[in-house]
Structure 1
């Protein structure tokens, strides 16, 4: 009997279904990161927040703006990673961004196959991109830190070429 892992069937998804996938992955991950950060903050400080702070936390504009800031941070990280200024195992290889479609067989009580479930999984590179963009939305200091260190590097390079 085959294991569930070896029994999965892989198919290539049509390229037209994947247009914009990295960009939308970045936006969505940044949005989730920003909202997750905000939920954790509210959860840990709700007991000590004033009534005014609680009112502000539930206002639509406050929630919306928090998400927009997270998406903007994720886009900065997306383009920073896409530029190729950094590389290594911790950073996504954009040429390898993809998804894989497979089928996981379902087994009945006696081990007989009863059909399968379709699944779509991201490549390692796409998962890394999502993690970096989630962190950009989650952390209020990550993107400003990247921008200031890049600014410093560019300033040093410019001063070095003006000799």
Structure 2
């Protein structure tokens, strides 16, 4: 008689979901806290900007109430200055529109008072139109309508400067992430490869592939030059310069130039076109790794083992490969000197 085989106990769907939720809970909490901090970082400058406009709006409302002209106020301003909900992202464009609408309702005294703060900020930001606007605003023959027009122009210029600065910061972050990505692609595989050969005690197997090491050093030198340049101009570079100097195309082109420069330097050294105390004496018998013996003495115990170390010639070769990749002028300057050296005897003979 057949007996029913009992199925092994299985977890229910709800139980498995609970286990996954428990595992993911730390990551979810970290993600939420990071998103909250990022949102607060965006809201702080927006809230600061909004406070100033709220105070200005209240001042205008009190003046209109005293003058009996509350019907002259702009109803759109209240909606633009409404505080967004937690799910809504703060929008500076709404504050910019509210600021320009408030300028149309301000009295001449209010424009004079608010203009001082705006001009101080324009001077701090080194606004190109600051001097002309300041001179036109302070002229003795300027009337209230002229000052209002100048004040609105100043407000718009400051808003454009804020938008341009935000755009520059956005592109700087993108360029930094792009450079970090290229750095990881260059460094991580190389470190893993060296760690593998070191762990297998097979560093000597890399000897026949020394030209690959030369090209990698050229890549590293070119990438290092981009990183140093980006670090130097990080505080002042704009979106247009980033698109020109640090786009994917520009970085890849710079890496190709660095690789070719390292290869050319390698052939110049192997061909003994360049020589000197700082250049390697690279011949057919040159070796990449040299074997060293070391003795480690401890209390009552002595042991010795051999280990591989980069040879002096190979280290100099890698150094010059990195320099050739880092510098954009070393190879062209070398070619220019070689051209002069070749053409000089021909010119002497023709004379």
Same-fold status (TM-score > 0.5): yes
Which blocks of at least 5 consecutive residues in structure 1 are unaligned? 1-10
Question: Higher relative contact order by CA 8 Å / sep ≥ 6: 1 or 2?
Answer: 1
Q: Which segments of 5 or more consecutive residues in structure 2 lack a partner in the other structure?
A: 1-200
Instruction: Output the TM-score relative to the length of structure 2.
Output: 0.37
Q: Choose which of 225, 238, 243 in structure 2 pairs with 1:50.
A: 238
Q: CA separation of 1:106/1:40 partners in 2, compared to 1, >3 Å: closer, same or farther?
A: farther
**Pair 1:74–1:107, CA change in 2 (3 A):** same
Per the alignment, residue 80 of structure 1 pairs with 268
Q: C-alpha distance in 1, partners of 2:262/2:300?
A: 45
Name the SS for the 1:100 alignment partner: strand
Query: Alpha-carbon deviation of 1:157?
Result: 3.1
Taking the TM superposition and a 5 Å limit, the aligned residue runs for 1:23-102 are 23-95=211-283, 96-101=286-291
The residue that corresponds to 2:79 in the other structure is none
Distance (whole Å) between structure 2 residues aligned to residue 12 and residue 89 of structure 1: 31
| Conservation of the 8 A alpha-carbon contact between 1:34 and 1:137 | yes
Q: Which has the higher helix share?
A: 2
Q: Which moved more, 1:40-49 or 1:94-103?
A: 94-103
TM-score, normalization by structure 1: 0.73
Question: Could you tell me whether the CA contact under 8 Å between 2:265 and 2:321 is conserved in 1?
Answer: yes
Q: Deviations over 1:94-119 (max 9, x none)?
A: 133421355778899x8978998x85
Q: How many residue pairs were aligned?
A: 149
Asked if the contact 1:26/1:78 (under 8 Å) is kept, the reply is yes
Deviations 1:10-65 (A, max 9, x none): x9976x642131x2222111111100011000001011100233345553222211
Structure 1 pair 154–97 and aligned structure 2 pair: CA distance change class (3 A): farther
Report the Cα distance in structure 2 between the residues aligned to 1:107 and 1:60, rounded to whole angstroms.
Answer: 53
Q: Determine the C-alpha separation between the residues in 1 that align with 2:242 and 2:296.
A: 47
Change (3 A) 1:65 1:120: farther
Quickly say closer, same or farther: Cα 1:161–1:54, change in 2 above 3 A: same
User: CA RMSD of the aligned region, Å?
Assistant: 3.3
